[in-house]
Structure 1
Amino acid sequence: MQTIANAPRARGSVWTDPQVRAWLFQIIAVIAVVAFGWYLFDNTQHNLAQRGIISGFGFLQNSAGFGIAQHLIDYTESDTYGRVFVIGLLNTLLVSVIGIVFATIIGFIIGVARLSPNWLINKLATVYIETFRNIPPLLQIFFWYFAVMLPLPGPRQSISVGETFFLSNRGLNMPSPGAAEGFLPFLIAVLLTLVGIVVLVRWAKARRESSGAIFPTPWVSLALLVAVPGLCVLLFGNPFTWSVPELQGFNFRGGWVMIPELMALVLALTVYTAAFIAENVRSGIQAVSHGQTEAARSLGLKPRITLRLVIIPQALRVIIPPLTSQYLNLAKNSSLAAGIGYPDMVSLFAGTVLNQTGQAIEAIAITMSVYLAISLSISMLMNWYNKRIALIER
């Protein structure tokens, strides 16, 4: 006699099988997406042909014929649109990297200050956060540009610092370095010092975990970073030759200039993003159990060491995921540079190049691809770091 458990199952239709239905729906969805994409592509090609617009990226080899206010590589008006692309990419990366670095530093300081037992420091940090994170970034860019940068005095009445830095409404003029005879030994010394610091940090961490003894890693690392390259300079000579800006006529010549559009953009994005990072830092620190602080105090650790070695390492596991989003937002918000004329990817390619060539699809596609690549690169780096600091369960 067959039991219920061993009874043969009734054969149903193939459409009642969940696996078959799942594969069927996925195949239908893929076909629908491909068909829709092909329709858009074919319709676009048809419309372009009707208007006599030739598609493709051959225009990148044509001469641009316009000047660019800031370029990190050599550029003349006779250069190609391809070189304009490289300049726009470098300018966008410049804003993103500088903004991320300074926003992280300021955000961590404000976030820690937000939890300070000192009433004044705590309230000042709160006012900073609630003020800057609730004002749209474009308005902050306008404020720094039109209310702070442009009203600065002209080059003849510029604010000078040490006769080498000059701040005016034309930007911040500063000395620019060039390679000298001692540059290669200096570079090798710096690289070897950085490798030594990495080895030192790992050794100090292993020593601390095994014996509990704390090694003054930051101070020793700083001493090495100053002493080794400094000794190299004494032995092989100055590694740099400096071009100092000089006032000639109505403007400065020589050196490097940080144009007011770049300064306003970096200041606005840094201040704005730092307010959000500060809240991420505050929430991450508060997510760490108070028992960790009490345990550190019972072991006699000073508050500064407790924060650096106990609280922050655990808080980073909570801080990093939302911090990644803030980095992505800063990189994407750099496209607001078009509002004040800073020559980034949007201003150059989605603006000037598009208007001159009429290659709207190609120009927009290139601009979108750049921001997509930047965002994916930031996500990959932050996800890699997040995995390194994540808790590994047994």
Structure 2
Amino acid sequence: MFAHVDINNFYASCQRLFRPELEGKIIVVLSNNDGCVIARSDEAKALGIKMGDAEFQVRDLLNKNGAYIFSSNYALYADMSARMMNNLARYTYMLMVYSIDECFMAIDHMPGVDLEEYIANMRDAVVQNTGLPITIGVGKTASLAKFANRAAKRARKKYMVLDTMDKVDAIINDFDIEDLWGVGFSYYKKLTAAGIMTAGDFRRQEPGWVQKQMTIQGLRLWRELWGEQCHVLNDLFERSKAICSSKSFNTYQTELCYLEEAIATYTATVASKLRVQESMALNINVFLRTNKHRKDHDQYYPSITLKLPFSSNSTAELTKVALQALRAIYTPGYYYMKGGVTAIGIVPAGEVQYDVFTEYQGERQTELSGLMDKINARYGKGTLRVAIEGYKKHWIMKQDYLSPNYTTRWQDIIKPI
């Protein structure tokens, strides 16, 4: 059996957790540089605010209805996510984080346990300990667990346990095909064109037809809807094949020195993520972007990929190559609005092999990077960094509506009145 757990309206719920007076109010959370809507409370959804709406397009509507607007506060969201995952981990021998606000859990090998009672108690405990509203779906496969979670939300239930195929059969014909995990926009158009409108319609198709239309991935989904396990949890969470860090700048950047600061900072983030998943990169890609919507500016979208001398996850080594790449593509006279760094060719750190002529001081770089990680974990991100990352960052993204970091910054901790 599998359980799928996710946090309802996660970003908005995090804001409400520390400001309970916002319960029942319209809340939207904006993307980097406060550009567009990426999270909404139920009240905002009812108002007609859509995911991806540009802030300037819905600004008057939000102000007219007294909406509360927040910039993305990733430090707060990451910490609250970790708290939820740590609480859930007590109820399973295997928990796999699927995204910042959802995870899968293995909940088999529990003979004699009343599953309904177990899930109800688990949900109550997690909500009590974290304050975050969650929904839980349980099924015989990962796909059915995700299906049960979505069905629970549609039925306005806190959880749903589909531990028999009879329970699945009772609701699958009323489940829209577009809400089925693994059915993206292109598959949705293809399936509806064939008259397949519900998950029940999809499950009644012949397996050969499903594989022809949706490849082996679609066939696995079809088989899982019949209760046949095709996804092992570890298979769902493979090591990333590429790791990217990119953001839009708060103002147009034209000077190379400021672009170097940004690219160095993004590279440090990529290197840190590589070390977290115990991987190394073989190649580094660096890109710049101008604003394609500005017709009065010339457009330029340069990108270059350089091979590293040795596979590495060292901040210093990756930064050196990334800056070489930046200087190769930078052309003065353009108004750059975004830049980014991507690590490509990800390999496990333990499988890197050097030849007899290698002069790379791998152990020294590993120790240095590990020391940086420990200091930054203890005293805060960016406490120890490569000098070229700069101090006063002129390109840092705009966050006009940023909330306090209630759980990760001493001065932001809530004080009693």
Larger radius of gyration, structure 1 or 2? 1
Structure-2-length-normalised TM-score: 0.25
With CA pairs under 8 Å and 6+ residues apart, which has the higher RCO, 1 or 2? 1
Normalised to the residue count of structure 1, the TM-score between the two structures is: 0.26
